[in-house]
Amino acid sequence: MRLERLLANMGCGTRKEVKLLIKSGKVAVNGKILRDPGAQVIPGQDQIVCNGQAVEYRKYIYLMMNKPAGVISATEDAKDRTVLDLLDPQYRHKGIFPVGRLDKDTEGLLLLTNDGPLGHRLLSPKKKVFKTYYARVQGQVTAADREAFRNGIVLDDGYRTLPGDLNILSEGPISEVEVMICEGKYHQVKRMFLALGKQVLYLKRVAMGDLVLDPRLRPGEYRELESEEIQRLTAVTE
Ligand code: URA
């Protein structure tokens, strides 16, 4: 891999910035200063030091974000802020993308990674990875609604969803529920309730497979996954 690419990928700066660092003698490879941005290095094998700091090579980055309402879960948008805009510069420009979409007004667990194969497996309908949502719903959610979720619900476009689980946490003029579904159709949870004549007022994803949103993350905050979390996430897709 080109030295400048590795440094930019590892968050040492933009391509332009790392080129300057290399040319000004701030980068050493295996103890020797290299001034050629195009020098070939072996990721994970060559010892690279940039500005006096060892650069640890990682092929993939995995971030767990508590997505806030008001931002779009896409890599770019002509009008609105995206979840990538919330990331520190060291995590941008690395091919990181959000795994699946949450609506603009939905909060909660969003996985961001540059591990394309894992992202695709997590979204594949064949893998049936369950996503868990907490929702506040207008009106009384009943045992009949729970049964409807269990049987699959016919949406406004005629599609019958796969069976889901509905757990009623509290009933009243506004009910609180937990929903588990293994698909990701457009506005799926909201449309499932709409088909039952009910409106979702607030929606938050709390888990994806075994990966649970860290309660310490406030909306807009994120952290890297721990290796054990990455292993569990990988395991649900196998
Ligand atoms: N279902 C929805 O309706 N919206 C989301 O953002 C996610 C699931």
Task: Decide if 136 contacts 200 (C-beta within 8 A).
Answer: yes
pLDDT digits (tens, 9 = 90+) for 47-56: 999 999 999 8
Of the options 3.40.390.30, 3.30.70.580, 3.40.1390.30, 3.40.50.970, the CATH number for the domain spanning 62-125+211-235: 3.30.70.580
pLDDT at 202 over 80: yes
Give the pairing of strands 222-224 and 131-138: unpaired
CATH homologous superfamily, domain 130-208 = Alpha-L RNA-binding motif (3.30.70.1560)
From ligand 1's centre to the CA of 232, what distance in Å? 23
Q: Where in the chain are the domains?
A: 3-54, 62-125+211-235, 130-208
Pair 48, 21: CB distance under 8 Å: no
Residues involved in catalysis = 103
Indicate whether residue 214 lines ligand 1 (CB < 6 A): no
Model confidence, pTM: 0.87
CA torsion sign for 220, 69, 172, 146 is negative
> How far out from the chain centre does Cα 227 lie?
16
Protein fold of 3-54: 3.10.290
Q: Give the tokens for residue 26.
A: 């701030």
Q: 74-126 pLDDT, tens per residue?
A: 999 999 999 999 999 878 767 899 999 999 999 999 999 999 999 999 998 88
| Cβ–ligand 1 contact at 187 (below 6 Å) | yes
- Could you tell which of 67, 71, 72, 133 is best to mutate to test the pocket of ligand 1, judged by most ligand atoms within 8 Å of the CB? 133
Ligand 1 atom, smallest distance to 190 CA: 3
